[in-house]
Amino acid sequence: MAKIISGTEIGRAMRAEIAVEAAAFERESGVTPGLAVVLVGEDPASQVYVTMKGKACREIGFHSREIVLPADTVEDELLGVIDGLNADPEIHGMLVQLPLPRHIDSQKVIMRIDPMKDVDGFHPVNVGRLAAGDRDVLAPATPSGIIQMLLRSGYDPKGKRVVVVGRSNIVGKPVALLLLRDAPGGNATVTVAHSRTPDLGSVTRQAEILIAAAGKPQLITREMVSPGVVVIDVGTNRVEDPTRERGFRLVGDVDFAGVKEVAAAISPVPGGVGPMTITMLLANTLQAARQIDAAAAGASS
Ligand code: NDP
């Protein structure tokens, strides 16, 4: 029976560490890390995330700013808000909650964020630095959380055959780049599969570590993995469930019940990668605050 890799527990432990590190940094530098989250419109799921991010910040003593703009906000106005946050010395990290309303060009918005404050790691400068193997880059939160889950549960990807299912810019590609990087949590031999990969099972069976990020409920079955595999299930899929009050439940991309019989370890959904994402945003905000402070000190010396 597989060991359970709990993102809830790892995330909790990491937040306690980040709080201690942030307090030490504040004593040295006088700087309190600050995160701003910008939401355009009233999408209920996005509102929940924004509230959760604000709460997580306050719990560990960061400044938090939540900016909610009406759905009909014009692009220039949003860009003006970003310019204000770029210039704000209390804010070290910012993110704009995606998806944005259709009349706003997301890429233009992402491009406007100061790369040093881009805690989502979506700005092309940070995407490029990650692809180039830079160890100091602000890397996207969900992929960084996956790496921490592996490292902190004793499954260092170094030298392992890792298969990533999914090639999105948010999860699949950046996690593959982190796994390839010559840095802690990297140095793996990485294969990336996607919807055009024939005979997916023949690829996933080669994995010593399998990362499923396809957004397809229970795509990965017991027959598709080799005994002893370590599985991180990123998938967060709603499936109808009339027995639940809200009418649905969340399932991953992996058939948890079947795969846990043969895997060495597996992360659950919910309680796996989900709780790690906000934790890594906090880690990135602290990293951004340190880097901005160091750059300011360098500029004034
Ligand atoms: P996308 O839909 O952007 O990408 C899905 C990827 O999976 C694509 O590359 C697609 O291939 C591939 N894929 C789809 N179907 C198959 C298949 N049958 N076989 C092999 N590959 C397939 O999703 P995201 O990367 O944004 O998210 C993936 C999952 O992770 C979702 O369930 C999402 O909800 C979840 N997620 C969870 C987060 C968290 O827990 N914090 C954060 C982000 C995402 P192709 O490119 O060929 O279309």
Kindly state if the Cβ of 250 falls inside 6 Å of ligand 1.
no
Sign of CA pseudo-dihedral 89, 92, 98, 104: positive
Kindly state if the Cβ of 234 falls inside 6 Å of ligand 1.
yes
Q: What is the model's pTM?
A: 0.97
- CB-based burial label for 159 (10 Å; 0-12, 13-18, 19+): exposed
More confident residue, 43 or 173: 173
Question: Is the residue at 293 inside a domain?
Answer: no
Where residue 150 falls among pLDDT bands split at 50, 70, 90?
A: very high
Q: C-alpha 62: how far from its chain's center?
A: 19
Summarised one tens digit per residue, pLDDT across range 99-132 is: 999 999 999 999 999 999 999 999 999 999 999 9
Residue range of the domain that includes 64: 30-114
Kindly state if the Cβ of 168 falls inside 6 Å of ligand 1.
yes
Question: Is the residue at 91 inside a domain?
Answer: yes
Question: Is the residue at 182 inside a domain?
Answer: yes
Where residue 44 falls among pLDDT bands split at 50, 70, 90?
A: confident
Question: Is the residue at 106 inside a domain?
Answer: yes
The CATH number covering residue 44 comes to: 3.40.50.10860
**Same domain for 180 and 263?**
yes
How many whole angstroms from 177 Cα to the centroid of ligand 1?
Answer: 16
**Same domain for 89 and 181?**
no
SS (H, E, C) 29-51: HCCCCEEEEEEECCCHHHHHHHH
Kindly state if the Cβ of 140 falls inside 6 Å of ligand 1.
no
Minimum-distance ligand 1 atom for the alpha carbon of 219: 18
**Same domain for 104 and 176?**
no
Question: Is the residue at 131 inside a domain?
Answer: no
Question: Is the residue at 196 inside a domain?
Answer: yes
Summarised one tens digit per residue, pLDDT across range 19-40 is: 999 999 999 999 999 999 999 9
Annotation says 97 is catalytic: yes
Summarised one tens digit per residue, pLDDT across range 126-138 is: 999 999 999 999 9
Number of folded domains in the chain? 2
